[in-house]
């Protein structure tokens, strides 16, 4: 008995096979605000579960670098230099996700270009501002006494509460991506559960 050949069935099988390949293409282009650091290594370190086998690195050339490749799922990484350079170059977190991200490294580092990386940068700017305000209030609280000290304590407590609310709101806005997961882990299960995640 002769078997029938179904071209449509072959096409469907090929289409399903292509759909099962969930890998996406990412690219991270970086440059330095000051200094070129040519010949130095830059490291892309997984935020969670880093091992010598899953840390990527490349050499800085002309004050620039890039990472590129395929990945099965979006993840958060730390972009950093060797330890001696970290006093001049702020490490930053970056999402390895579909698309082209950019990073500018310096005493203040910036990231953007893809949806999650844009969210990371917006959060980072506000976080640094809140951290500085909290630090200044902690100093004022130690130096002031009487009613002024009490007012500084009240402002500090209020700012800490507002900061927690900011982190929770950012985590909620990003709960569908790996940045949201990172923030939830940072806040802790108890805090996240109390807010109804």
Question: Residue 4: what pLDDT?
Answer: 52
Mean pLDDT, all residues of the chain? 84
pLDDT tops 70 at residue 16:
no
pTM of this structure: 0.78
Provide CB contacts within 8 A for 94, sequence distance 6+.
Answer: 28, 44, 76, 77, 78, 79, 101, 103, 111, 117, 120
Distance (Å, whole) CA 90 – CA 80? 8
Closest of 193, 183, 134 to residue 163, by C-alpha: 134
Per-residue pLDDT reduced to its tens digit, 79-100: 999 999 988 899 999 999 999 9
Contact 143, 172 (CB under 8 A): no
Closest of 87, 89, 120, 86 to residue 102, by C-alpha: 120
Contact 114, 101 (CB under 8 A): yes
Question: Residue 50: what pLDDT?
Answer: 86
pLDDT tops 90 at residue 71:
no
Q: Residues 113-131: what's their mean pLDDT?
A: 94
Per-residue pLDDT reduced to its tens digit, 142-162: 888 888 888 888 999 999 999
pLDDT tops 60 at residue 13:
no
Angle at 45 between CA 172 and CA 43, to 5 degrees: 130
Question: Residue 23: what pLDDT?
Answer: 85
pLDDT tops 50 at residue 116:
yes
Give 2's pLDDT tier (boundaries 50, 70, 90): very low
Token pair of 155, please? 């402002």
Give 1's pLDDT tier (boundaries 50, 70, 90): very low
Per-residue pLDDT reduced to its tens digit, 131-144: 999 999 999 888 88
Q: Residues 37-63: what's their mean pLDDT?
A: 91
Give 113's pLDDT tier (boundaries 50, 70, 90): very high
Cα dihedral 173, 175, 177, 178 in deg (nearest 10): 110
Contact 89, 109 (CB under 8 A): yes
Strands of the sheet containing 64-71, edge to edge, are 64-71, 24-32, 99-105, 110-112
Question: Residue 11: what pLDDT?
Answer: 45
């Amino acid at each position: 008995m002769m078997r029938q050949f179904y071209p449509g069935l072959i096409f469907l099988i090929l289409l399903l096979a292509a759909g099962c390949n969930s890998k996406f293409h990412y690219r991270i282009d970086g440059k330095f605000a000051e200094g070129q650091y040519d010949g130095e290594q830059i490291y892309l370190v997984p935020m969670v579960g880093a091992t010598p086998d899953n840390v990527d690195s490349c050499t800085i050339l002309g004050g620039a670098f890039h990472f590129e490749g395929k990945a099965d799922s979006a993840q958060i990484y730390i972009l950093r230099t060797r330890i001696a350079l970290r006093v001049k170059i702020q490490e930053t977190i970056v999402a390895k996700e579909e698309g082209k991200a950019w990073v500018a490294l310096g005493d203040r580092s910036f990231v953007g270009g893809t949806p999650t990386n844009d969210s990371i940068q917006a959060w980072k700017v506000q976080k640094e501002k809140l951290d500085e305000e909290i630090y200044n209030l902690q100093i004022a609280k130690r130096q002031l006494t009487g009613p002024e000290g009490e007012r500084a304590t009240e402002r500090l407590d209020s700012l800490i509460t507002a900061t927690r609310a900011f982190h929770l709101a950012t985590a909620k806005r990003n709960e569908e991506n790996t940045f949201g997961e990172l923030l939830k882990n940072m806040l802790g299960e108890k805090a996240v559960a109390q807010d109804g995640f």
